[in-house]
Amino acid sequence: MNYLLQPKKYKSLMTDEGSRAIMNKTIAFFEKMGKTRLLDDYSKKVWYSEFVEFIGKEQIFARLLTPKKYAGGDPDCRWDTARNSEYSELLSFYGLGYWYCFQVTILGLGPIWMSRNEKAKQKAARLLKEGAIFAFGLSERDHGADIYSTETSLTPMPGGTWVANGEKYYIGNGNEAEMVSTLGKIKDGTDDYTFFVTNYRHKAYELKKNVVSHQEYVSNFALHDYPITEDDILSRGPHAWDSALNTVNIGKFNIGPGSIGVAQHCFYEAITHASNRILYGMRVTDMPHVRKNFMDAWLRLLGMKLYQRRATDYFRNSSQNDRRYLLYNPTSKMKVTLQAEEVISLLWEVIAAKGFEKDTYFHMAAADIMGPSKLEGTVHVNVQLIRKFMQNYFFNPTEYAPVAPDFSDNDDVFLFDQGPTRGLGKVQFHDYKGIFDEFRRLPNVDTFITQIGIFKELLEKAGPDKMQEMDPSWSLPLGEMFSIVVYGQLILEQARYPNLDPDILNQMFDFMVRDFAQFAMQIYGNHSSEDAQREYFVRIMLIKAVPDSEQYNRVWERYVSVLNGEYAMNE
């Protein structure tokens, strides 16, 4: 059984022909292009016009990113997070650059589908059909995450029109996007936020440069008295502000699948190389530390996939009455992307020099994989966000109807109507303890439950004081520990569905226990930790995973070593 994406034996999660065709055509596109050309384009930083043409010709973004209401009768159009995640994984399997074009198109469409401007929505649907790509113009060079300081402005003109002025930085697809959802403030005395649409073809849109040295185009553009009419205004005031944050919510969830795709391709290359390399008369994969790296990498990779899959069900089933996705989303963003970095690092330690070679996918991935954790909120930003949910998660659970695996062909329209972004501390969760108890028979899950118990007691009896709350060197590892609990919970929930081999799950919780202990050690060593707090962290740190070498070997033999030679991209 291979749990990893295998393009040459591709099994889509989608049941409908239209969706399967999208996946299969995309695989055929890249396999026909071949690895030599793919890597050559990457090295030469060639803008992927052929890919953009392919996407348009096959109506791929049109089908994946047009809600049914604007589909114009095409039965394959819907905004389906499960399908988009699957597609993201596939694109990044062939290169994060391709994934990025999809990612920023998703972001660009966010404020449009959230708008009440029907004309703009019809225009977006038409342009998608014509093969357009889109962009999200939020960031400015000097202000980073601080969008309160946005300087781009709309100045009113006679006759109810405006002119836009200002400069945007780090805007993906800004070189060819037919609609750039651009954030600014209205200079009519209100300073209201507004999203309005610009287009790269207009003479008042100055494309200044690509700010990165890469295949993708991450633009710096300037608007010089760019004329804007009512038809170009997507939102203003609190609606515009919420559109910005709610769009980032949608985009953020699409980043984990990007990292997962990259890590899977790297895994195939690494295991095939190491399994066939003989040193001192033995296979490299027969060295125990090498085997350990592969085991850890594979288990972490599977954990990423299980978490992301389960979180997708919550994302699709979210509503005003179920906002649990607001925790599962930054947890995906932060945890899945960092785990991918760890997977690549573990693999690179094994394949060493091979990972530098220009004819490997790996060398490209090694350079790119550190990116996703930093985009749409750094790890810091996401951990701080996650911490807002901690109190209710542990101490104030509630009941919800069970959320089943969701592969329906529903439109995820709630995502375009998420409402105000306030009240995160009020969101309640179902009790995490139920699923952990269900798997308590596995020794490492049981061990993890013990660690969680001590952690919860610490929060109750010796939690951080105000100063520690404000000190990131204390509060960040605390947030990381919380995120591992959430991560473990959803992994276990997902493990029920494919009826995952308990051997795998028990081995997976071996690294969960180790990771949890490591963060406990970080806070223990913090100068501001008090003795009463240190006692709890010592107790957590000293708990170790339960060894089972036979089980470890079984997982290696059954699932990991057999990936040698399983997939290689067409040359």
Footprint on this chain of ligand FAD (rule: CB under 6 A): 104, 136, 138-139, 144-145, 170-172, 212, 218, 375-376, 378, 380-381, 384
Q: Which residue is nearest to ligand FAD (CB)?
A: 144
Is the Cβ–Cβ distance between 221 and 205 less than 8 Å?
yes
- Closest by Cα among 26, 24, 30 to 9: 24
Q: Which is nearer to ligand FAD, 64 or 171 (CB)?
A: 171
Identify which of residues 139 and 246 has a Cβ nearer to ligand FAD in the complex: 139
Report the C-alpha gap between 165 and 171 in whole angstroms. Answer: 16
Write down the least CB distance from residue 169 to ligand FAD, Å.
Answer: 8
User: 154 with 187: CB under 8 angstroms?
Assistant: yes
* Whether 267 contacts 298, CB under 8 Å: yes
Q: How far is the CB of 488 from ligand FAD (least distance, A)?
A: 25
Q: How far, CA to CA in Å, does 56 sit from each of 7, 128, 254, 371?
A: 22, 8, 21, 27
Q: Which is nearer to ligand FAD, 384 or 553 (CB)?
A: 384
Pick 166 or 488: Cβ nearer ligand FAD: 166
Least Å from the CB of residue 144 to ligand FAD: 2
Strand partners, 162: 156, 228
Among 431, 461, 444, which residue's Cα sits nearest to residue 516? 444
Of residues 380 and 539, the one with the C-beta less far from ligand FAD: 380
Contact in structure between 89 and 261 (CB atoms under 8 Å): yes
The kind and range of the H/E element at 358 are none
Task: Identify which of residues 169 and 298 has a Cβ nearer to ligand FAD in the complex.
Answer: 169
Question: Which pair of tokens denotes residue 453?
Answer: 């118990």
Q: How far is the CB of 137 from ligand FAD (least distance, A)?
A: 6
Nearest approach in angstroms of CB 234 to ligand FAD is: 15
Closer CB to ligand FAD, residue 33 or residue 65? 65
In the complex with ligand FAD, which residue's Cβ is closer, 78 or 387? 387
Please tell me the distance from the alpha carbon of residue 60 to that of residue 21, in angstroms, as a whole number.
Answer: 10
Give the C-alpha separation, 101 to 133, whole Å.
Answer: 8
Asked if 318 contacts 325 with a C-beta cutoff of 8 angstroms, the reply is yes
233 near 174, Cβ under 8 Å? no
Question: Closest approach of Cβ 290 to ligand FAD, in Å?
Answer: 33
The minimum distance between CB 23 and ligand FAD, in angstroms, equals 25
Cβ partners under 8 Å of residue 507, min gap 6: 295, 299, 444, 548, 551, 552, 555
Q: What is the DSSP letter of 130?
A: T
Residue 195: CB minimum distance to ligand FAD, A: 12
Q: What is the DSSP letter of 215?
A: S
Supply the minimum distance, in Å, between the C-beta of residue 184 and ligand FAD.
12
In 3D, which of 181, 171, 168 has the Cα closest to residue 115?
181
In the complex with ligand FAD, the residue whose CB is nearer, 103 or 264, is 103
DSSP class of 212: S
DSSP 8-state code for residue 70: G
Sign of the four-CA dihedral 172, 173, 174, 177? negative
Nearer to ligand FAD, 98 or 439 (CB): 98
The per-residue DSSP string of 186-205 comes to ETTTT--EEEEEE-TTSTTE
Instruction: Give the nearest distance from C-beta 570 to ligand FAD in angstroms.
Output: 29
Q: What one-letter code names the amino acid at 53? A: E
Q: Which is nearer to ligand FAD, 136 or 536 (CB)?
A: 136
Nearest to 341 by CA among 371, 361, 309: 371
Q: How far is the CB of 337 from ligand FAD (least distance, A)?
A: 13
Closer to ligand FAD by Cβ: residue 163 or 381: 381
Supply the minimum distance, in Å, between the C-beta of residue 276 and ligand FAD: 35
- Per-residue tokens: 31: 């396999």
Smallest gap from Cβ 136 to ligand FAD, in A, equals: 5
Q: Is the dihedral of CA 461, 541, 485, 465 positive or negative?
A: positive
Sign of CA dihedral 374, 378, 380, 384: negative
Task: Sort 160 into a burial class: Cβ within 10 Å, 0-12 / 13-18 / 19+.
Answer: exposed
Smaller CB separation from ligand FAD, 106 or 485: 106
* Paired strand residues for 236: 194
Burial class (CB in 10 A: 0-12, 13-18, 19+), 231: exposed
- Our CB check for ligand FAD shows the closer of 21 and 212 to be 212
Cβ at position 153, least distance to ligand FAD in Å: 17
The pair of three-digit structure tokens given for residue 257, joined into one six-digit string: 């699948």
